[in-house]
């Protein structure tokens, strides 16, 4: 939900038809792909989810001009996913430490 709030206009949930997009972006992915994988429990790890989310953002940054709404939104989402990943890692470490003590 936190990631979706960073994209209120649903910029990353629409297929890109702009000329040259497929030349720049070799592995396109949409928010709807990520959402579907989440709902269908297809992610086997946090790392797989993070990889898809980073791919979404990196695609946007690769294709769109710096300072554009797409690039700015992708940058914000990358920052958020990094924070979320660090928090999840800290939580997992804390749980592991509590069981190993």
**81-96, pLDDT tens digit by residue?**
899 888 888 888 888 8
Q: Which two tokens stand for residue 48?
A: 């797989």
Summarised one tens digit per residue, pLDDT across range 40-92 is 999 998 889 999 999 999 999 999 999 999 999 999 989 988 998 888 888 88
**Three-state secondary-structure class, residue 52:** helix
Segment holding 14, helix H or strand E: none
Rounded to two decimals, what is the model's pTM?
0.80
Distance from C-alpha of 94 to C-alpha of 86, rounded to nearest angstrom = 12
Among residues 80, 95, 66, 65, which one has the least CA distance to residue 7?
A: 80
């Amino acid at each position: 939900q936190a990631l979706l709030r960073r994209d209120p206009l649903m910029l990353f949930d629409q297929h890109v038809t702009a000329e040259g997009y497929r030349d720049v972006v070799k592995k396109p992915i949409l928010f709807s792909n990520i959402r579907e994988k989440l709902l269908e429990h297809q992610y086997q790890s946090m790392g797989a989810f993070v990889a898809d989310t980073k791919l979404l953002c990196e695609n946007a940054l690769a294709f769109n001009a710096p300072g554009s709404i797409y690039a700015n939104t992708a940058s914000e989402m990358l920052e958020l996913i990094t924070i979320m990943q660090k928090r999840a890692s800290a939580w997992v470490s804390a749980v592991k430490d509590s069981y190993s003590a």
